[in-house]
Structure 1
Amino acid sequence: MTQDTISVRDIARQLPGVMRRVPAIAKGLYYYSIKDDRKELTLGTLIERNAQKYGSRPAVMYDDRRLTYTEFNAWANRIAHYLRAQGLKKGDSIAILLENRPELLAMVAGAAKIGVACAMLNTSQKGKVLEHSINLIAPQLIVVGEELLESFEGVRDHVAFGHSSPYHFLPDTDSIHDFGETPKGYINLAQKLSGYRGDNPTVKNGPRLGDTAVYIYTSGTTGLPKAACGSHRKFIKAYGGFGLMTLNMGPNDVLYSTLPLYHATALLVCWGSVLSGGSAIALRRRFSASEFWNDVRRYGATTFGYVGELCRYLLNQPPSPDDRNHGLTKMIGNGLRPSIWRPFKERFGIETVAELYASSEGNIGFSNFFNMENTVGFTTAPYALVKYHEGTRDPIRDSKGRMEKVKQGEPGLLLGEITAKWAFEGYTQKDATENSILRDAFKKGDAWFNTGDVLKEIGWRHLQFVDRMGDTFRWKGENVSTTEVENIIDESGLVEEAIVYGVEIPGTNGKAGMVTLVPQQGKVDDFDVQALFRYLQENLPPYAIPVFVRVTSAIEKTGTFKYKKVDLKKAGFSLDRDGEAVYAWLPKTQEYTRLDAGLAGQIENGEINF
């Protein structure tokens, strides 16, 4: 059974561990609570401080490369000097199109030292979406990795830059020592950097805590990305809140991350936590379940960063005598489902799960400070959980235009109050920023960030994630939570992965539940769908049992391990996807029936009364 409430006894059991972290907590609280946006405390100063204090300690690990803090800081300095020589200054921006490798971190660090912000382009983007993302920022120049040159070439003629020589290239090598071959029309940045000095730059009117350090792209409601502003403050909050207060990182820690660095969890949370302890970050281009533990042992990792379904992939690997043959005891990230929380910890010997809740653009974050189960933790930021209109991001307002908070234990729309201390940095697009702000919520003049997420309080100000707004649907007059149904299916022992959503059936009201799943064992045609049906009948009310089941060998995901639910919804119960089987729970039956073209046509034409 999963834990759904937190009592004073639960908190008390964790106090001995908390007491051991008191020095780190006190230090972390200082950084987490800094209010002055003009303070000269930035990503660049953190790295310079670590170079001075932990100079000979490893800063970045990648394949066979090991960079100390002294070496990494000098590399970032050469980048800063080069960018300044090109006329770039505080307030300018550059675009970064690199896969996970040390060059990406060095570019962000070097640019940060002179107040230049890096737009962290999603490496899976191509064509119109990539073009949109670049033009959204209007950067001075771009740094393209050899591994992504083809993607950029596809949009090169459709994007604009402010610099006269904007196209910079980095070879897919150890670019400090190997400059590679320079493609026509590009400046070989690796070669150029070799001619610049590695001392810390002196900058008049340098960057401050509140200045933008990075732009992180988030999904837009129109399908095109939005660019969220990430200030140096967000690095500092991760440094204090996650790295010191929660993980208590130190110089002997190594955080292993396969998460894409264009994502806030990897760049801000994981790297920010690493910097707090003079720790090292070990990178891999892409996640590999089969190589994960080998890498952990290879790098001597003590911590790792997770998101989405990464932990499920690891749990689905065959058990091995080496499952606990490693030094990894901590993990930080989000999206660990309650159904696998304890099995994951017990199988792999994990002591600390620093589950968190945050968003790239938001002003509020939660951290599992007390190491409780099945919670995103708590926050010192002001927040509210309010009643909302089902299936939308809209809160319910009363006759006076005010919102109503939900009772403890009830799901509510999470809002973060916007104050001087808890500022909402928003997006580059003013209309997108304003659309995320709710005004006059509880009193005239107040302002709140609308997260669009539904959470519930489970005791002692600890929240549990319930659903993304829109990830609920109404069927048979009842509201169905996709996350709730997914958790039940997860615990069946029949599937490796399951994603639940609502689909429309002609002639019905609301949406019928549908699940796309990957069988635990065997091929698509061998899956025992009737065993699943019997299990669902035993564990779910009738209205929550998925009407449709799509069985497939793999579910496509984004680079951050999130399901492409929009594509699945569009496919519905259609049969035009090769190698898959679709089943339906037909009226007046007590089993799933495999669809053929004739039966699917009858449903589509509204000839079957659901």
Structure 2
Amino acid sequence: MTLGALIRERGTADGTRALPFLRFFGWECTFEEYYQESVAWAHLFLAQRGKRTNAPFHVGILLDNTPDYLFALGGAWLAGAVAVGINNTKRGTHLAHDILHTDCRWVVTEPHYLDVLAPIIPELESKVECIFLSRRWQHVGRAPSEHPETRAEALAAVAEVEPRLQRLRGNVDPHAPVEPGDLALLLFTSGTVTAPKAVQCSHRRLVETGTNIARNVYNLGPGDAGYIAMPLFHANAIMCGFLPALAAAVPVGLARKFSKHHWLEDIHRYGATYFNYTGKPLAYILSTPRRPDDADNPLRICFGNEGSARVAREFEERFGCQVVDVFGSSEGGLGVTRQPGDPPGSIGFPAPGIAVVDEHGTERPPAKFDSHGKLVNPEECIGEIVNTQGVAWFEGYYKNDEATRERTRFGWYWSGDLGYKDERGYLYFVGRTTEWLRVDGENFLARLVEEILLRHPDIALAAVYGVPDPNGGDQVMAALVLRAGCQFDPHEFTTFLQAQADLSPKWVPKFVRLATELPQTASAKILKSELRRQKFLPEQCRDPIYWRPSRTLEFRLLTREDLQGLLAEFTRTGRESLLLL
């Protein structure tokens, strides 16, 4: 089945067409109304395409999570076009690259992104024929308070979409010829480690993924409802939020952007029984002040990835719901689901064929631990997590054959993620392929240190990364977000570190940054590249920083005099240029 066929079926079948589907801060439409509006958008795109049928039929969507995002998706799929999710946090040449690389001939946007587009209009004009501007939701749903007139609005490339849609509403379904294997969607990877790549998703993959999650993860039925706060340009929001609701014919509510402060309010607003997430949203929500009625809500299940076992347990207890956390990626090349009773820190027991290998494809030996639980053979047991039985749902990167070949060597799917297995075969994720630190000749992964720091009851989020050492290699720096109402006590923190038997002396942070928020992608994944760039430099980082001037475990605030001494040491060893990277 194609996505257009699924939309058509939901919008015309007697059992589903009158059911509520999309909800947005007091506004609501049925499946039939969604289908009819998507038909109007389909005619909009087909009219623009005209007779240029040999050119890519690609529509870029640069919007917040508003109903128009989902209308544009539905219109593209009914028209036989390819929708492209454009990351609305990008700017300048990076934004232009994503639009041009994916051959977008049209871009749908809203007023507060015109200033973002204005500087790159000259670059886009070679391929982008029109920028469709929608104003329907500009004052709805915690929208930006002001929409200043911009020079982009006066450009010929910008066209108001509403007058065109008005003329097209009421047209019949175009029934464009589309096959299940045809390309339906291009979604960029998060790009927290390497440059983002556009993942190709067919109609078949998206329909089957949404149906599978609706049935086998959420078990959706009458009375259920979803809530999407993750950005719709990310695979998680589409595959785990929108498509399950479409497949199961249940309503789904939208938030423009994720907000830890408004999350519970929105769960109540939409009567949401399921919530999808990726990255660190659960930890951010847990950092908000606890309320006695937190568990008095309709939420039944949360589904996503990258939540730690401790965070998942605490979230379940606080909000009275089930958390299903899996290991996977936008590419769909492999997946592992954590189950109750799995060993602490494990991401689950992998299916046959999921292995941990070195760069040549040789399987790594199992991990070994000392009596304190410390991993003693990391360089021997840690390797890349791969699917040796094939590439599963991975359908390649758009116009990037080299990256596709690298990801599918030997006919396997190479995840780019590092991990190890214990002697019983349980799998542990330890970071990305670029998250190794080297301190005094010892190589280790940041994730191992993060897991130890997160044992502290006052720490909600921890990001560990390397900053330059004036004498060579790295120094360990940790950025921490504390729970609401908690204060950092350097002496108590030292006592905590001393009690962690599996914390190697070389893993102990040299610098501790106390942040209220960490730099992150729109999908709530921490941007360690930005943290590494900021280092401990006051012109880059305004947060309080504690440090250990010596090899002891005594932390104190980093002062201006301390910083001058550090800079002098970098100058003395000729490594001052590293502070500029």
TM-score, with length taken from structure 2:
0.84
Letter in 2 for 1:354: V
SS at 1:306's partner residue?
strand
Quick check: 1:78–1:110 contact (8 Å CA) kept in 2?
A: yes
The residue that corresponds to 1:349 in the other structure is 320
SS of corresponding position for 2:529: helix
Matching residue of 2:567:
601
Question: Counterpart amino acid of 1:531?
Answer: E
Answer whether contact 2:332 2:393 (CA < 8 A) is retained.
Answer: no
Query: What letter is aligned with 2:444?
Result: V
User: Corresponding residue for 2:238?
Assistant: 267
CA distance in 2, matches of 1:109, 1:45: 10
What's the counterpart of residue 547 of structure 2? 584
Mapped to 1, the partners of 2:69 and 2:163 lie a distance apart of 16
Does the CA contact (< 8 Å) of 2:111 and 2:138 recur in 1?
no
- Give the equivalent residue in structure 2 for 1:225: 196
- Listed one character per residue, the Cα deviations across residues 521-542 of structure 1 (whole Å, up to 9, x for unaligned) are 679xx63223212211211221
Q: Which amino acid aligns with 2:102?
A: I
Mapped pair 1:569 → 2:532: yes
Q: What residue in structure 2 maps to residue 515 of structure 1?
A: 478
For 1:125, give the aligned amino acid. Answer: K
Residue pair 2:199, 2:395 contacting (<8 A) in 1 also:
no
The letter for the 1-side match of 2:163 is Q
1:31 aligned partner = none
Aligned to 1:327: 298
Q: Residue 469 of structure 2: SS of its match in structure 1?
A: coil
The Cα of 1:122 is off from its aligned counterpart by: 0.6
Contact 1:357–1:365 (Cα < 8 Å) also in 2:
yes
Unpaired segments ≥5 residues, structure 1: 1-40, 389-394, 440-446
Q: Distance in 2 between the 1:597 and 1:360 partners?
A: 41
> Using a 3 Å threshold, how does the CA distance of structure 1 residues 433 and 543 change in structure 2: closer, same or farther?
same
Task: Tell me the CA shift for residue 223 of structure 1.
Answer: 6.3
Q: Distance in 2 between matches of 1:224 and 1:471?
A: 15
- Do the aligned partners of 2:289 and 2:485 also contact (CA within 8 Å) in 1? no
**Letter aligned with residue 194 of structure 1:** Q
Matching residue of 1:303: 274
**Contact 1:248 1:277 survives alignment (8 Å):** no
Q: Which residue of 2 aligns with 1:139?
A: 104
Structure 2 vs 1, CA of residues 603 and 516 (structure 1 numbering), >3 Å: closer, same or farther?
A: farther
Amino acid at match of 1:565: K
Contact in 1 for aligned 2:38/2:74 (Cα 8 Å)? yes
Deviations 1:227-262 (A, max 9, x none): 221222331232233221121112421111111111
Q: Deviations over 1:371-406 (max 9, x none)?
A: 9786655676x6432333xxxxxx2x3xxxx52244
Q: Partners in 2 of 1:427 and 1:129 — Cα distance?
A: 16
Instruction: Tell me if structure 2 keeps the 8 A contact 1:138–1:161.
Output: no
Partner of 2:78: 113
Shift in alpha-carbon separation, 1:421–1:170, aligned structure 2, 3 A: same
CA contact (8 A) 1:332 1:354 kept: yes
Residues 184-218 of structure 1 show CA distances to partners (whole Å, capped at 9, x for unaligned) of: 332222221122244663435x2222221111122
AA aligned to 2:216 is: M
1:588 Cα deviation (Å)? 4.4
Q: Which moved more, 1:493-502 or 1:300-309?
A: 493-502
| Paired residues of 2:199 and 2:330 also in contact (CA < 8 A) | yes
CA contact (8 A) 1:414 1:454 kept: yes
1:82 CA drift (Å): 2.2
The Cα shift of 1:574 comes to 2.8
Corresponding position of 2:521? 558
Residues 438-465 of structure 1, C-alpha deviation per residue, up to 9 Å, x if partnerless?
23xxxxxxx2222111234579976443
Match of 1:437?
Answer: 408
User: 1:392 maps to which residue?
Assistant: none
Aligned partner of residue 384 in structure 2, secondary structure: strand
Matched residue, 2:66:
101
Q: Match of 2:83, as an amino acid?
A: C
Judge which range, 313-322 or 94-103, deviates more: 313-322
Name the residue aligned to 1:48. Answer: 8
Amino acid at match of 2:121: R
In structure 2, the CA distance between the partners of 1:562 and 1:452, relative to structure 1 (3 Å rule), is same
| CA distance in structure 2 between the partners assigned to 1:365 and 1:129 by the alignment | 30
The yes-or-no answer on 1:537 pairing with 2:501 is no
Instruction: Summarize the alignment of residues 183-582 of structure 1 with structure 2, pairs less than 5 Å apart.
Output: 183-184=153-154, 185=156, 186-198=158-170, 201-203=173-175, 206-219=177-190, 224-350=195-321, 352-367=322-337, 376=347, 383-388=353-358, 395=359, 397=360, 403-407=362-366, 411-417=382-388, 419=390, 422-439=393-410, 447-457=411-421, 463-508=427-472, 510-520=473-483, 527-539=488-500, 540-577=503-540, 579-582=542-545
Letter in 2 for 1:560: S
Distance 1:405 1:208, change over 3 A: farther
- Structure 2: state its 5+ residue gaps: 141-146, 369-380, 575-581
- Secondary structure of the structure 1 residue equivalent to 2:168: coil
CA offsets, 1:510-553, max 9 Å, x none? 42211012344679xx6322321221121122122112222234
Change (3 A) 1:590 1:314: closer
Q: CA offsets per residue over residues 250-297 of structure 1, 9 Å max, x none?
A: 242111111111111011222122222111221101222222212111
User: For structure 1, which segment, 150-159 or 227-236, has the greater mean C-alpha deviation from structure 2 after superposition?
Assistant: 227-236
Q: Is the 8 A contact 1:146 1:172 kept in 2?
A: no
Matched positions, count: 540
Q: Which region of structure 1 is more displaced relative to structure 2, 592-601 or 369-378?
A: 369-378
CA distance in 2, matches of 1:45, 1:548: 55
Contact 2:229–2:254 under 8 Å retained in 1: yes
Residue 75 of structure 1 is aligned with which of 37, 45, 66? 37
Is 2:49 the counterpart of 1:87? yes
Tell me, what secondary structure is at the counterpart of 2:184?
Answer: strand
8 Å contact from structure 1 (residues 144, 170) kept in 2: yes
Contact 2:519/2:530 (<8 A) preserved: no
Q: Cα–Cα, structure 1 residues 312 and 588, in superposed 2: closer, same or farther, change >3 Å?
A: closer
Equivalent-residue separation in structure 2 for 1:174 and 1:512 (angstroms): 46
Same amino acid, percent of matched pairs: 27
Whether the 8 Å CA contact 1:246–1:367 is kept in 2: the answer is no
Asked whether the equivalents of residues 383 and 414 of structure 1 are also in contact (C-alpha less than 8 Å), the reply is no
State the secondary structure of the residue aligned to 1:155: helix
SS of the residue corresponding to residue 405 of structure 2 reads helix
The change in CA–CA distance for 1:551 and 1:291 in structure 2 (over 3 A counts) is closer
Task: Flag the 1:429–1:567 CA change in 2: closer, same or farther, 3 A.
Answer: same
RMSD after superposition:
3.1
Q: Which moved more, 1:299-308 or 1:192-201?
A: 192-201
| Distance in 1, Cα, partners of 2:426 & 2:5 | 33
Distance of aligned partners of 1:477 and 1:497 in 2 relative to their CA distance in 1, 3 Å threshold? same
SS of the residue corresponding to residue 44 of structure 2 reads helix
Q: C-alpha offsets along residues 465-504 of structure 1, whole Å, 9 cap, x if unaligned?
A: 3322222323244443322222222221233332101222
Determine if contact 1:537/1:545 at 8 Å carries over to the other structure. Answer: no
- Deviation string for 1:303-342 (max 9, x for gaps)? 1112222111221222212211111010111111122221
User: Higher mean Cα deviation, 69-78 or 272-281?
Assistant: 272-281
Give how far 1:56 is off: 1.4
Question: What does the per-residue CA deviation read over 1:355-384, in whole Å, with 9 as the maximum and x for residues that have no partner?
Answer: 22332234323345889786655676x643
Q: Secondary structure at the match of 2:307?
A: coil
Change beyond 3 A, Cα 1:378–1:45: farther
